[in-house]
Copies of this chain bind each other. A is one copy, B any other.
Amino acid sequence: MKAGKKTKDYHHGDLRRAVIDAAWSLVARRGLNELTLREVARQVGVTHAAPYHHFKDREALLSVMTGEAFAEFDLALQRAKQGVSDPLEELYALGAAYTDFARERPERIEVMFRRKDAPDAVLLDTGKSTFQHLVDALVHCQEAGVAPAGDPLELALSAWSIVHGFAVLWVEGPLTAMEPYVGKFEPLRDRLLRSFGEWLSAAARETGRAHDGQDPS
């Protein structure tokens, strides 16, 4: 095979990229605590010292991976809400994107959420920007009168909890293994999200009635 159009093409091609990819694959197959630089080097077919020309140490590799995962996740959510104008549909799209990402890229979730030693500042910033998608969608729902008034952050916490809970229950095994649920990811996900939406709009209607039908702001 002819070498690709990579910029760095001297020895390996692009070892940096290859190391990161192998690391993702390793986390996916064996989990975060099984991620070792030596095994990654082995997978790539390179001496165990070679990766040190691209990453200061194991932590530096994990740091790059965390950044990638958050960027991918954020992109997935951004794409999901693109072109969706109905606020409840926007919420569904975000929820589906969240859970689908977790199911399709569980290793990303593991790296994003399970690092004990995650650098707080970075994780907080990127985590917040992702969380912001949910907050925005709920504000849109409130403006359209399909979500109850009140602190949108609190509604967002509900949405985050239900979506994250469903995602990790699925990723971590309980749901994939339990009899009545096995193989029913999509329908369960859809009904869960629809139910949440109905909850929101029903609550908005009741609030409206309680206030003698004043329009939502």
Q: Which residues of A contact B (CB under 8 A)?
A: 30-31, 33, 113-114, 116, 118, 120, 123-124, 127-128, 131, 153-154, 157-158, 160-169, 172-175, 177-178, 180-181, 188, 191-192, 195-196, 198-199, 202-203, 206
Greatest chain B CB density within 10 A among A31, A163, A166 is at A166
A165 contacts which of B33, B165, B181, B199 (Cβ < 8 Å)? B165
A165 to B177, CA, bound (A): 18
Q: Which of B113, B154, B174, B191 lies in contact with A172, CB distance below 8 A? A: B113
Question: Once the chains bind, are B158 and A162 in contact (CB under 8 Å)?
Answer: yes
Q: Which chain B residue has the least Cβ–Cβ distance from A32?
A: B33
Taking a contact as CB atoms under 8 Å apart, the answer to whether A124 and B177 are in contact is yes
Residues of B near A203 (CB, < 8 A) are 195, 198-199, 202
Nearest chain B residue, comparing its CB with the CB of A202: B202
14 interchain pairs, CB-CB under 8 A: A114-B114, A118-B173, A127-B174, A128-B178, A154-B188, A157-B166, A157-B188, A161-B163, A161-B169, A161-B192, A165-B168, A199-B203, A202-B202, A202-B206
* Of listed A123, A157, A198, residue having the most chain B CB within 10 A: A157
